[in-house]
Amino acid sequence: MKKLALSLIATALLAGCGTAATLPTVNLSGMASFEAMGVDDVTAFASKTIMRKQMKVALEANTKALMTFADRDPKDGRLTFDELQAKMAGFSRSVFRSKDTDNDGALVLSELVTESTVSLMTERIIRIRSGCLKALDKDGDRQLTRDDLMEANQFQLDPQPWSAYAKLELEQLRAKVLKDAFASKDVDGDQDGKLNNDELYAFFLFAVERGASPIAPAKPHSPIF
Ligand SMILES: [Ca+2]
Ligand SMILES: [Ca+2]
Ligand SMILES: [Ca+2]
């Protein structure tokens, strides 16, 4: 199998990680106050807030790698369309325009990693994670092994051209990312070879940070979407 097309790469980061219409977003206007929320609601809200902060850090690290890769002429922390086009020949001008919110002809970090990008990616990973736990946790201990995730069809890893994983074929990519992630205490914190709910989220953050964005495969029978 060949690597995924550049159009998919563009959707992963530069196009804003999906369509707002298909994903839920945090809606504070519907909440009267924290006093009106139950303990579980407050816990879930706090947990989501932490997850979003972690996702922002991962997306910013990935975007800084993109800057290092493409910001050349001049190297000024701003990505012009020509700089992106020079490194990614199929890069879309309409994607560029949609991200250039101040319309100055260049993309900066804050235009690439917006609150909406962070929300969409967080929600995406939560969905993929629950799909994986539902489908792959055969013994019901709410933990997944490297072998479980090796076979998972709930997500595909999409290597971006600035990623350290960019040169791997898709078949090798999953094995390599999983190997690196399970070896990291940032992911498998207790190093027991199994990922619980929080560790599983950390696994996806690990991939995002290194430019291997998890995406749901476009299959009609996908259990998640
Ligand atoms: Ca530049
Ligand atoms: Ca701009
Ligand atoms: Ca563990």
Record the tokens describing residue 185, joined without a space. 């205490």
Record the tokens describing residue 154, joined without a space. 């709930």
Q: How many domains does the chain have?
A: 1
Q: Is residue 225 one of the residues assigned to a domain?
A: no
Query: Residue 41: its pLDDT value, please?
Result: 82
Task: Quote the Cα angle for 34-38-39, to 5°.
Answer: 100
Q: Is residue 59 one of the residues assigned to a domain?
A: yes
Has residue 67 got a pLDDT over 90?
yes
Give the residue numbers spanning the domain of 193: 8-17+39-215
Record the tokens describing residue 39, joined without a space. 């303990």
Angle between helices 39-70 and 115-136 (to 10 degrees): 110
Residue 105 CA: which ligand is closest? 2
Q: Is residue 132 one of the residues assigned to a domain?
A: yes
Q: Is residue 67 one of the residues assigned to a domain?
A: yes
**Average model confidence (pLDDT) for the chain?**
84
State which residues have CB under 5 angstroms from ligand 1, the bound ion: 71, 76, 78
Query: Residue 138: its pLDDT value, please?
Result: 87
Residue 182 CA: which ligand is closest? 3
Mean pLDDT of 137-145: 93
CA of 55 relative to ligand 2 center, distance in Å: 22
Residue 108 CA: which ligand is closest? 2
CA of 139 relative to ligand 3 center, distance in Å: 15
CA of 181 relative to ligand 3 center, distance in Å: 11
Euclidean distance between CA atoms 67 and 70, whole angstroms: 5
